[in-house]
Amino acid sequence: MTTTPYRGGFAPVAEEITAFDLEVTGRIPAELAGRFLRNGPNPLSLDDPGASHLFMGDGMVHGVRLRDGRAEWYRNRWVRSDEVARRLGEPARPGPTHGGMDFAANTHVIGLAGRTFATVEAGALPYELSYELDTVGRCDFGGGLPGGFAAHTHADPATGELHAVAYFFGWDHHQHLVLGPDGTVRQVRDIPIADAPMLHDFALTERYVVLYDLPVTFSAEHAEKGAPLPYAWNEDHGARLGLLPRDGGEVRWLDVEPCWVFHTLNAYDDGDEVVVDVVRYPKRFVDARLDLGGIPTLDRWRLDPATGKVTATRLDDRAQEFPRIDERRTGRPHRYGYTAVARDINDVVSPAETELEDLPDEAFDNTLIKHDLVRGTQETRRFGRGAYVGEPVFVPAGEAEDDGYVMTFVNNPDRGAADLVIVSAQDFTGAPVATVHLPARVPLGFHGSWLAD
């Protein structure tokens, strides 16, 4: 039986590529000057221990540089942890570690203070990258991080402060971190938490940091069995949402029906209540596996701190993941959101590979969704047959919330390579504004950013 999830669309690429003056169909908007970056697991070898789990492969960042209506370059680069550097015959990069952990961050790639960082959760530090995506080294922001960092961060558009919530299996708390626009750590707050739960994402409003304390916790039993990622669904842990006041004070915990959340669309204050839109799973990590637990749907929680009541509403019952918004609306009321349709993994890999272990029971489809949450409607955009599409990233062009572009990597089965597709958010189902034809395949991965110059 095959025991690696890196098959089909997840199959890793075997080399680093640099290509210039990429072919473009359509016209790249002149105002797009910057880099579209995306991170994801790409193990150096399928014989590596990390290749047995989708979350444990060595990180590889893919990037396209746009300027003056041109696609100037494409690069893909492994994040050089000490082990990756050693195997590539290179010297180790500098920087501290936390908890003895050194991991080639594989989950997200973000910008802060003019710098670029590959991020991951669970105790490891981020890696700083150069503009051209070469690894600079591990970063603790000038000694400001007392522990690890987080895969997901949320920036307040009014203050420019970057919020993160870190966790580590050896802690009895989660850690709320606030970094200034200059990249210095301004605030560290510990929040006591039992059972060392996983926390992949959180939410931010103008008044609160919204924490998810859900029933996926560190499992000593699975760690002893050698599970690559020893976190498992824990029926005894319960589920609750925490409202941590940004201006100080204790967390207000509200019970919620047990579930799992990887990703937040957005959250905002609505009078005395709080609205949180998330992609919600009924369960996840059952027996420490990714392939059990039901499909993810777009749901809304309305939290009433006065009564402690949480009301849940289904916004869209189709399987979907990787929600994104116009990040100028972070923590504020939003109308639009963008997600990638998910489907059964057996539709992504070949029939001979359907006995894969530790794969999610849904993976990327060839379809993106634009949600109008005021009207309660959706538009769907499908790409070619056999294509798979990654996370949709919104890039603003004007003042209106959907005045901008949605950018994503799309596998092109006819070329055996990927395209960077740029779609008008206001003409979501129309012809792409531009398609940048890349010289190589971009495997299915996780998260990315548009980092404007």
- Of residues 419, 426, 328, 412, the one with CA closest to residue 370: 426
* pLDDT band at 151; cut points 50, 70, 90: very high
> What pLDDT was estimated at residue 3?
77
| Interior angle at CA 300, CA 328 and CA 280, nearest 5 | 100
Both structure tokens of 302: 């309305």
> What is the separation of C-alpha 307 from the centre of its chain, rounded to a whole number of angstroms?
33
Looking at residue 298, the DSSP 8-state letter turns out to be E
Both structure tokens of 322: 């990787």
Go through the domains of the chain in sequence order and give each one's CATH number.
8-452 (2.120.10.30)
Per residue in 426-453, pLDDT (tens digit) is 999 999 999 999 999 999 999 999 999 9
Range 399-415 average pLDDT: 95
Pairing of strands 297-304, 273-281: antiparallel
- Of residues 438, 435, 440, 439, the one with CA closest to residue 25: 435
Both structure tokens of 174: 């989660």
Both structure tokens of 350: 């070949």
Query: Picking from 88-102, 129-143, 334-348, which range would have the lowest pLDDT averaged per residue?
Result: 334-348
Decide: helix, strand or coil at residue 222.
helix
> What pLDDT was estimated at residue 303?
98
To the nearest 10°, the Cα dihedral for 146, 120, 402, 400?
A: 20
Per residue in 240-271, pLDDT (tens digit) is 999 999 999 999 999 999 999 999 999 999 99
How many residues are listed for the chain in this entry?
453
Range 279-296 average pLDDT: 92
* pLDDT band at 381; cut points 50, 70, 90: very high
Q: Are 392 and 339 in contact (CB under 8 A)?
A: yes
Query: Across all residues in the chain, what is the average pLDDT?
Result: 93
> What pLDDT was estimated at residue 363?
54
- Please provide the DSSP assignment of 288-307 as one string: G-SS-S---EEEEEEEETTT
Decide: helix, strand or coil at residue 221.
helix
Q: Would you say residue 64 has pLDDT above 90? A: yes
Q: Which residues, including other chains, have CB under 8 Å from residue 411's CB and lie 6 or more apart? A: 9, 386, 387, 388, 389, 418, 441, 442
Range 49-58 average pLDDT: 90
- Of residues 357, 361, 358, the one with CA closest to residue 346: 361
Q: How far apart are CA 292 and CA 261, in angstroms?
A: 14
Per residue in 329-376, pLDDT (tens digit) is 999 999 999 999 987 443 433 333 334 444 443 456 899 999 999 999
